[in-house]
């Protein structure tokens, strides 16, 4: 199952966005506070519970400076997946989006596609606001 978030324009350079997102603890600022609990993080991984009690773990897998942050599911995640943050831009603005590739069966796909799409779109908008507040 593949999901791509909406592209969002961020009022910050690619380097600023990359540096912010390459610290996994900053992912907390992008998550919906009403639907997420028990957030824990180190520099290169984070975990949190989503509504319904499912724990998601994100582990940084590969960093391509100022262009891409690749993460994979950790051991507590309900199914294997890859999540990539794409960053493009020039000067003082960037454009970013999330790309999710999950290894789920068709039944699970029907259940999780809409909530995940909403979550990734929410995170993209929050990233835009994170730098818009400066």
pLDDT digits (tens, 9 = 90+) for 29-68: 999 999 899 999 998 999 999 877 788 999 999 999 999 9
pTM for the whole structure: 0.90
E-assigned strands of 13-64? 36-41, 45-50, 54-64
Domains of the chain, earliest start first:
2-132 (3.30.530.20)
Residue 95 corresponds to which tokens in the numbers above?
Answer: 């454009």
Question: In which element (H, E) is residue 133 found?
Answer: none
40-75 burial, b for 16+ CB within 10 Å, e for fewer?
Answer: ebeeebbbbbbeeeeebbbbbeebeebebbbbbbee
pLDDT digits (tens, 9 = 90+) for 24-35: 999 999 999 998
């Amino acid at each position: 199952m593949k999901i791509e978030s909406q592209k969002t324009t961020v009022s910050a350079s690619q380097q600023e966005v990359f540096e912010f997102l390459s610290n996994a603890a900053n992912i907390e600022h992008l998550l919906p506070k009403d639907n997420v609990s028990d957030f824990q993080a180190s520099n290169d991984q984070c975990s949190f519970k989503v509504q319904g009690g499912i724990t998601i773990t994100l582990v940084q897998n590969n960093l391509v400076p100022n262009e891409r942050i690749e993460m994979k599911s950790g051991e507590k995640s309900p199914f294997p997946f890859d999540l990539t943050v794409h960053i493009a831009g020039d000067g003082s603005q960037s454009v970013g989006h999330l790309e999710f590739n999950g290894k789920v069966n068709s039944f699970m796909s029907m259940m999780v596609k809409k909530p995940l799409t909403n979550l990734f779109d929410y995170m993209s908008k929050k990233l835009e606001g994170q730098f818009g507040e400066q």
